[in-house]
Amino acid sequence: MSNSQFSYSQDQFKRIARQVLDYARTAGATAADTEVSEGFGQTVTVRKGEIETVEYNKDKGVGVTVYVGQRKGHASTSDLSDAALKATVEKAATIARHTAEDEAAGLPEREWLSTEQPELDLFHPWSLTVEEAAELARACEAAAFKVDRRIDNSEGGSVSTQASHFIYANSLGFTGGYASTRQGVSAAVIASEAGAMQRDYWYTTARDAADMKSPEHVGRIAGERAVRRLKGRRLSTRNCPVVFEAPIASGLIGSFVGAVSGGSLYRKSSFLLDSLGQEIFSPIVNLREDPFLKKGLGSCPFDNEGVKVSARDVVKNGVVQGYFLSSYSARKLGMQSTGNAGGSHNLILPCSEPGGELDLPAMLKKMGSGLLVTELLGHGTNMVTGDYSRGAAGFWVENGEIQYPVEEITIAGNLKDIFRDIQAIGSDVEVRGSKQTGSILVGNMMVAGE
């Protein structure tokens, strides 16, 4: 790893981490961990061809968690001087002494810690001047305007680049860290016709700028999506099949992850309590977690506690194979950490067709008549009961063909029923995050309209 814009090297961070742990021992800690990090980034937004905003961010910090027996205290600072580090540790130790004991508190078990740190190719710095970034953003926005004369306004084209690195260390002897980058290009435009306006957007993101779609592609898709929403109608209330377009279908996976994550389970605030080994999904659903994908947006060699991660089946033929647990939630549940402190890693939901070819038009033909949802609004998911109700927009489909755009509707159901009623998973994956899925067809949902 090398980048002249980083102020500290990994070796310097390791020395700071050792220093923090030494201070913690002196302060009376029986155990401690620390993370030292820095990051920087730049975002340039162009609107109607002119630079509108240039944003820079650059930060650094140290966080330390101190355990005095089973009492825990945490403090952080952005000042990396010796005096500030010592004062921060002392604050964490003071907090620990004044908190109640928690039998689940503490560092991970030593045998849970990662002993290998594979190279995952996560660091690809993109050195762009403001003007270079602005030219890319202009090309993106211009491609959107070229789509149709009805695109008459823009919220802008943007180009962003972010880079960071960190070292995590604890008093059990674990030390590890790495650098990573994330780049992005986006556009949001507005189409108008007969006094009505519709907005839509598109974006691409990757660790390596070379892996992103071109700015022209992003702009064109944003423009096409805005225009196709014009002349939207409302539907009468009905029950019908629903296809969730790939970019929003990942939200269904996110709801599942939240329901089988340790915090929800030990607090008993999940609709999927005791679901391990249970058939929760349709048998066509197979969900795999793979932290080791090269350049993956959810890849990592270890979790936020230094615990080893592993590639595993989370759902197999509809049956839940595993939860998402940190060391704390694992102890609360009498289980073992799954290496998910900090959340899930790359989650991959493969196409339900054996050949893996089921694009969006094929998904619509499979549905026949029903609703294609391309946008969800609000946060109407009750994680305790599984009740699901979201504002939505999209397109009405008949005989496998899009007929007209629809808006101002609500889709509703219960996530348990939705998961069991998944009838197809598309191959139209947009890799833009840690959850990778194509579009998802659900056999029946309530659509509330007029």
Tokens 């050792």: give the residue: 18
Tokens 């930060």: give the residue: 59
> Contact 201/190 with Cβ under 8 angstroms?
no
**Number of residues assigned to the chain:** 450
Answer yes or no: is pLDDT of 419 > 90: yes
State residue 178's pLDDT score: 97
pLDDT digits (tens, 9 = 90+) for 8-67: 999 999 999 999 999 999 999 999 999 999 999 999 999 999 999 999 999 999 999 999
Neighbours of 33 (CB within 10 A): 26
Shared domain for 143 and 58, answered yes or no, is yes
Shared domain for 389 and 443, answered yes or no, is yes
Q: Which residues pair with 165 in a beta bridge?
A: 38, 179
Neighbours of 98 (CB within 10 A): 9
Eight-class DSSP state of 358: -
Tokens 């609500």: give the residue: 410
Q: What is the CA radius of gyration of the chain?
A: 24
- Cα(248)–Cα(388) distance, integer angstroms: 14
Element (H, E) at 429: none
Shared domain for 51 and 168, answered yes or no, is yes
Question: Considering 206, 227, 248, which residue would you say is the last residue of a domain?
Answer: 227
pLDDT digits (tens, 9 = 90+) for 169-179: 999 999 999 99
Shared domain for 203 and 259, answered yes or no, is no
Phi-psi region of 321 (alpha: psi -120 to 50; beta: other; left: phi over 0): alpha
Question: Considering 227, 251, 284, which residue would you say is the last residue of a domain?
Answer: 227
State residue 1's pLDDT score: 41
Looking at residue 216, its amino acid is: E
Count of domains forming the chain: 2
Is residue 153, in this structure, part of any structural domain at all?
Answer: yes
Shared domain for 267 and 300, answered yes or no, is yes
Answer yes or no: is pLDDT of 3 > 60: no
> Contact 89/75 with Cβ under 8 angstroms?
yes
Instruction: Say which CATH number the domain at 218 has.
Output: 3.30.2290.10
Shared domain for 398 and 436, answered yes or no, is yes
State residue 378's pLDDT score: 85
Would you call 53 exposed, middle or buried from its count of C-beta atoms within 10 A (0-12, 13-18, 19+)? exposed
Is residue 2, in this structure, part of any structural domain at all?
Answer: no
Q: In this predicted structure, which of 24-28, 126-130, 285-289, 378-382 has the lowest mean pLDDT?
A: 378-382
- Whether the CA torsion 277, 280, 286, 289 is positive or negative: it is negative
Q: What is the DSSP pairing of strand 440-448 with strand 422-425? A: antiparallel
Is residue 1, in this structure, part of any structural domain at all?
Answer: no
State residue 2's pLDDT score: 45
State residue 4's pLDDT score: 62
> Contact 160/41 with Cβ under 8 angstroms?
yes
Shared domain for 53 and 23, answered yes or no, is yes
State residue 71's pLDDT score: 96
> Contact 189/223 with Cβ under 8 angstroms?
yes
> Contact 219/142 with Cβ under 8 angstroms?
yes
Share of the chain above pLDDT 70, in %: 99
- Cα(294)–Cα(300) distance, integer angstroms: 10
- Cα(403)–Cα(277) distance, integer angstroms: 42
Q: What is the DSSP pairing of strand 347-349 with strand 435-437? A: parallel
Shared domain for 181 and 326, answered yes or no, is no
Answer yes or no: is pLDDT of 194 > 90: no
- What value, to the nearest 5°, has the Cα angle with vertex 153 and ends 148 and 154? 105
Measured CA distances, 398 to 19, 116, 226, 393 (Å): 66, 53, 22, 16
Shared domain for 386 and 433, answered yes or no, is yes
> Contact 227/219 with Cβ under 8 angstroms?
no
Shared domain for 260 and 211, answered yes or no, is no
> Contact 44/36 with Cβ under 8 angstroms?
no
What is the signed CA dihedral for 433, 434, 439, 444, rounded to 10 degrees? Answer: -120
pTM reported for the whole predicted model: 0.93
pLDDT digits (tens, 9 = 90+) for 143-186: 999 999 999 999 999 999 999 999 999 999 999 999 999 999 99
Dihedral pair phi/psi, residue 302, rounded to 5°: -160, 165
State residue 284's pLDDT score: 96
CB neighbours of 3 closer than 8 A, spacing ≥ 6? Answer: 125, 163, 179
140 lies in which domain range? 10-227
Q: What is the average per-residue pLDDT within 367-394? A: 95
- Cα(3)–Cα(125) distance, integer angstroms: 8
Mean pLDDT score across all residues of the chain? 96
